Every structure is written in C-alpha cells, then in structure tokens.
Structure 1
Amino acid sequence: MVIKSICAVKGVTAYGVKEGKFGLALIRASGTAAGVFTENLVKAAPIELMRKQIKAGKLEAVIANSGCANAYTGRRGYEDAVTMTEYAGSALGVDSVAVGVASTGVIGRYLDLSLIRRQCADAALNLISTPDAEDRAAHAIMTTDKRPKHALIKNEGFTIGAIAKGSGMIAPNMGTMLSFIYTDAQIEAKPLKEALKMAAKRTFNRVVVDGDTSTNDIALCIATGESGKVNAGEFSSALEACCRSLAQQIAADGEGASKLLEVTVRGAPKEAAAAKVARVVIESPLVKTAVYGEDPNWGRVVAAAGRAGVKFDPNAVSLWISDGNNQYPLVKSGEIIADLTKAKAAMHGNRVVFVIDLAAGKEEATAWGCDLTEKYVEINGRYTT
C-alpha cells in the first residue's frame, strides 16, 4: 500500500517517470527552503549548484534524475545541472534559479539531456496530488533500492511528508541518499535550516550501510506555509521524527541487506560521543558479518566501541541484545553474563538491536545500519557493467 506523504502536504504536487535505469521526478511546491549536503570533497555538479541557489531560502520546485550522478563531470556537468533547472523552470513557468536539482547514479558519466528534457515535459503534464503520483516520483529516483521510502508526520496544525532514496554508498556526512521533505507549516528560512541541520545530524548522519559517503547526498526541505505558523520546538521534533523514519528505511534497505541493525549507546559524557560510538559499531564489517551469520559474537561490539575515540571504563560497560521485542543481557558492569542460546535466538529475525551503556555520563544516541552479505559484493562488483 502506498503511503501518502508529500502529497498529503498542502500545496504539493508530484510525478515521476522511469525508463529502465533512468528516471526523473518532478515535485512542485513553493515556499521557504533549506538544504543539507554531502561533505565529500568530490561534490556532484547539482550539489555545487544547490549550495549556491539555496542561499535565497526559497524554492518553487525540485527536479531529480536517477541513473547518472552527474558527478566528477567538470564544467560541463555544472552547466548540465543548470540546464536541468531550466527545463523544469520552463515546463512549470517558474524562475530556474528557484528550482532545486539532484542526481543519483553512476559517477563519471554525463547526463543524457535529451532524455531528461523529454521526461521532464512528461512529468510536468501529469503533476497531481495523489498517492500514485507520489509513488511514481519515489520510484523514479531509485537506483539499487528494493523499495521506495516514504514518511509522514501529522501534528496538530501542520503536516510533514517526505520521500527518499538510498541503499548503497551510504554513510551520509551532511549535512547515494536523496531526500525531499515538505511541510505546510509556516516557518522562516533560518529556523527551517537550523531544524533540518539538527534533524540530519541525529538521523541521516547516523546511518551507515557501507561506510562510503556519496558525492550526491542531499536533503531539501520546503515549507509551503499553507497551514499557518507553528511552534519552532514542535516543528523541530516532528521534522526529526520524519527524518528518523527515512533513515531507518534506508538502513533496512541497504544493498544486499537481510537485517536492520540498530545500536543505542547510553551513559556517554556527551550526545556527540554516544553518536560516535554508535556509528563506529554500526559500520564495523566484523559486527555486520556477525549479524548476517546470526553469530552472537558480541565481543566485536565491545571491541568496536573501544576504538571510537571516546573515553570510558571497559570494566563498567553493560551490553544487551534484542530483536526489537525481547531483550537479553550480555554484559553487566564488565561481567559476562551472556546466555548465547538466547542471544542467537534474538538474531533470527530481520532486526537486531544492541544497547550499550558506557557508564560514563548521561547522554545517549542511536545509529542504524544493516548486515553485510554476499549480495552486497554482487551488486557493487558489477555496478557499471
């Protein structure tokens, strides 16, 4: 069943076209806007363009293509990204400098502009606010994703909806994941940017599939303002919840993944320290392969935590494993109390959760990832051929 999310937001229409590996999504919505972007030194052309255009704090539409990342394509790639905004601007009757642009796919290839122009014209003629149109847009931006990602948060007085893609080359450091978020809340560009940056920090930046930060990571948020003013704190919490849902969906849909891996770190001196430990554990190949093999080798979890660069007493650490419903202790204040039969049973499902208490403070953070399987190698070993 398609979840109606962005099309549940007042003032948003969408559509998408997919032809083989090449797709294009077009989303129409006018309002204040903010964005967060990859921190990879090698930034795709649309990222370079959007870092400039987002400074105006307003967007009228977004155009996004899949199949070609338009990354490491030099001056021609930048000009092609500008051309994409011009295609969308012309088709929708808006200024191209107010059009957001994003790309995902193979790095080091040039865009097929004739295809993009045709797909853009097709999408523009079919823009509508329906679940089917949204699902078409979500499918249009998929590459190796097995399923589209939607999220919807309804608060009293406003709604936040989003779509995203992401399956491989996932270790967002933002600010190949794309996310387009919409709200009918009335909020100025500066507080919107602050809320988006914090949400990304606590959600997208805590997802690791394979440890590679893409050249194309981008999250854009547009506020149409059609539902009126909102409390900044309530909005920020709702936006974080929306992004958290997308982050979990991306982790669960990691390339070749069979299990969602979740790590919560408690008892840290600072939230940033807890997040750092959680990310190091999530991205550990030894932890990920143990989860895939349903091998309760929890020593790998403790070892990974120990190399995160956060100070704690190893003899004070406690650790639990869970399948999301039943939780079993493995270590209590440095003492091994693991029941390996129960621990292994907790790994049989499609979700494995580790909870670590460092006993070094009161802060906590959660990160998400997935197991590492042979399928990941198959997908990426032949990605361009």
Structure 2
Amino acid sequence: MSVTAAQGFEAAGVAVGLKSTGNRDVAVVVNRGPLKVGAAVFTSNRAQANPIIWSKQVIQDGVVEAIVLNSGGANCFTGSFGFQTTHQTAERAAELLGVSAGDVLVCSTGLIGTGDEVFRGKVLEGVAQGIAELSADGGENASLAIMTTDTRPKRSVISRDGWTIGAMAKGAGMLAPGLATMLVVITTDAVLTSEQADTALRAATHVSFDRLDSDGCMSTNDQVTLLVSGASGITPDLADFTAALTEVSADLSRQLQGDAEGASHDITIVVRGAANEDDAVEVGRSVARNNLFKAAIFGNDPNWGRVLAAIGTTQAEFDPYNVDVWMNGVRVCHEGGPDAPREEVDLSPRATELVIDLLTGDATATILTNDLTHDYVHENSAYAS
C-alpha cells in the first residue's frame, strides 16, 4: 500500500511521457486530514534543484496539503524557467485541489541540466491526470512513478497501537549523505504537531538515510518528507513514534542499498569501540568511500589492510596499531596485526559485514555502502546517452 497505508491519504502514479520507457513518471500524494502537518529534510549539497528551493519555502510553516513528484528530469540548473516550472506545478495542483500553492511540495528526479516547454507541459499534464486518478489504493502506482534507474520500487509500512506509518522511496545511484539521491515520502495517521514531526523525522534520518553512503556522490534533489493526517485520532508517545519512524527509514535505507546501481555486494560497516558517535561515523564513512576497499570486495578479496589505511586518514581518536577488524565473522586483524588467514573469509554472499573495533570507547555507528563494480562504471558512463 505504500503511502496510502495510513488513513487520510490518497495517491496516484501516472505516465505522461517524461520517461522514454513509457512507464509511470508523475506521482501525487494528497493529505485529506484532518491535520495537514508536514516536515522535511533536504540535501545539504549547495547545488540545489528548483524543487528543493521551492519546497524549503513551503515547509517553513509546517503545513502541507500535497506533494507532487516527477521522474524523468531533475529540473536542476535550468535557470528561472525551471523555477517557474516548479511554481506552476504547485499552482496547478493547488488549483485542482482547492488549496494554496504555498502548501504544495514539489520533488523531481532525473537528469540534471535539461528542461524545456515540452518537459513543463508533460509535468503539468501529469499533475492534472494524477489528481483525477487519486485514490486510497494509489500508493503502489505512486511508488512506481518516482523510479529512475531503480530496478524495483521501495515501500515500507508499520502499524502500532491503532496508528500507521506508510512510505515509499526511490534511489539507486548518487547515494551519499546529505540524504543520498533519494526521494522519500512518509505518511502517518498519528496525531503530531509540526514540531514533533520535525523532531522525529530528523532523529530518524540521522541514523538511517544519512548513513547510507553507497558511492560517495551527493545529489542535488534529495528530499525526505513526512506528512501527518491525524486521521487515526491517536496521539502516540513521541519516543514510540520516533522509534517506529526510524524502523521504517532503516528498512527503506536497506532497500535503497540493495538496489544500488551495478552493486554485487551490500556492505554493512559496523564501527564500535569509538570514543564518540561522530568518530564512529567518520571512521565508517572513510571505508565506505574508499575505492580500493570497495574494489577489493567486488573481487571477493578480504584485503583488510585497505581498511586500516582508510581509517588512518580520519581525525577520530584511536590507535591505528590497536584496532580489530572482522570480515563476515572472521577476525582478520587483531590489535593492528594479522589474525585469522584471509582464506577463511567467504565474500561470495551479497550480504557483507565489516566490523571495526577501535578499542577506545563505547560508541557505535553503522554505515551502509556497496562495492565498486564494472556495471556501476558502465551504467554511469552512459546515463545521459
């Protein structure tokens, strides 16, 4: 059911020709209330697409009536024409829904630097067609419409004590913090204020989407949105809601990791024994972005020396000659020296776990990444052709 699993939401996903494949390419999600609460987090890239610039303005008052998303074009670096396109998208949706354009979020994904009158016309057509097809069963079609190089849709639903969270996501490449190149829409029928929604969303993304670092490349269009309808009439404990939201976000992050472009290994990097959480994240990120390590994993080579070389570039507090490293359950390095023979490590499964113990403190963090493959290079060398 995706985003329509929660009460109070309708959605649609339609095809208007933005994609050469003819697949669905415009999604609309509408909050029917009674609450119209919204919260969002955005890419930290200084280069930001027109929909991000628009949506940052919309979200300031915490009121969101609807969100329109298109694939098949990022509408980024398209100048004033591109911003006008985003503005007109919100205005068209607002006119058809009888709401204010200032309460309509807009998201786009696809190739950067393209956009013309044909693109604009198709997006506006998609808005009209999508709103005409809105239904409480439209969540699955909406999740299909936001896909680009994704090979499958990403959806997640969780229910707790009479309230529900439903979600959809897209993302397969340019996966790095600042959210990864993802569009995520999360809905809930729980009763929350805009301040509570914002607090919960930031806490959830901090330990999920922000720790997905597949290829180290940050997008211009990332946005994670939480919409609150309050239709269940139930006000959950904020800690309980945040825990459930984090669970949904972590599930979607794993789905994004598992569909990363060209990847043959899904690598979970667990850093423990750190002096603090920031150190653990920095150390995990240094390995996730190390092409030598990622290439070794692609070749099923347990080259743990590349792990120590990577973490040595950080400012984290630890002794590089007193570190333990496990690869898929085998301790290959103990206190900065060789331990079990490399031959004992089986890297043939897609699921790969790297554990780094800094033997310094009690903090832990987990980073998700992928290997570096021929297919990744090929897919991204031909993305615009």
TM-score, with normalisation over the residues of structure 2?
A: 0.93
Shift of 1:135: 2.1
What is the distance in 1 between the residues matched to 2:26 and 2:252?
Answer: 20
Whether 1:310 aligns to 2:307 is no
Gap regions ≥5 residues in structure 2? none
Structure 2 counterparts to residues 66-215 of structure 1, below 5 A:
66-110=71-115, 112-130=119-137, 133-174=138-179, 176-215=181-220
Shift of 1:78: 1.2
Alpha-carbon RMSD: 1.5
1:290-347 per-residue CA deviation (whole Å, 9 max, x = no partner) reads: 111111112112221221221201222111122xxxx22212333421232221x2x1
1:40-99 per-residue CA deviation (whole Å, 9 max, x = no partner) reads: 111100101111110110111110001110111122211111111112222322222111
Report the residue type matching 1:116 in the other structure: V
What is the distance in 1 between the residues matched to 2:271 and 2:164?
Answer: 31
Whether 1:290 aligns to 2:283 is no
1:12-54 per-residue CA deviation (whole Å, 9 max, x = no partner) reads: 1111123434710111114211110011111100101111110
What is the distance in 2 between the residues matched to 1:7 and 1:229?
Answer: 19
1:175-212 per-residue CA deviation (whole Å, 9 max, x = no partner) reads: 93111011111111112112111211211111112211
Q: 2:174 touches 2:180 (CA, 8 Å); kept in 1? A: no
Structure 2 counterparts to residues 35-54 of structure 1, below 5 A:
35-54=40-59
Match of 1:336 in 2: 338
1:74-125 per-residue CA deviation (whole Å, 9 max, x = no partner) reads: 2221111111111222232222211111000111112512111222222112
Match of 2:7 in 1: 10
Report the residue type matching 1:10 in the other structure: Q
Gap regions ≥5 residues in structure 1? none
What is the distance in 2 between the residues matched to 1:144 and 1:89?
Answer: 30
Correspondence for 1:238 among 241, 244, 250: 244
Whether 1:266 aligns to 2:268 is no
Report percent identity of matched pairs. 37
Shift of 1:151: 1.4
Q: For this pair of structures, how many residues does the alignment match?
A: 374
Report the residue type matching 1:366 in the other structure: T
Once the two structures are overlaid, the 10-residue window that deviates more, 329-338 or 155-164, is 329-338
TM-score, with normalisation over the residues of structure 1?
A: 0.93
Match of 1:359 in 2: 359
Q: 1:175 to 1:371 in 2, by over 3 A?
A: closer
Please state whether the residue corresponding to 1:171 is helix, strand or coil: coil
Match of 1:219 in 2: 224
Q: 1:263 touches 1:278 (CA, 8 Å); kept in 2? A: yes
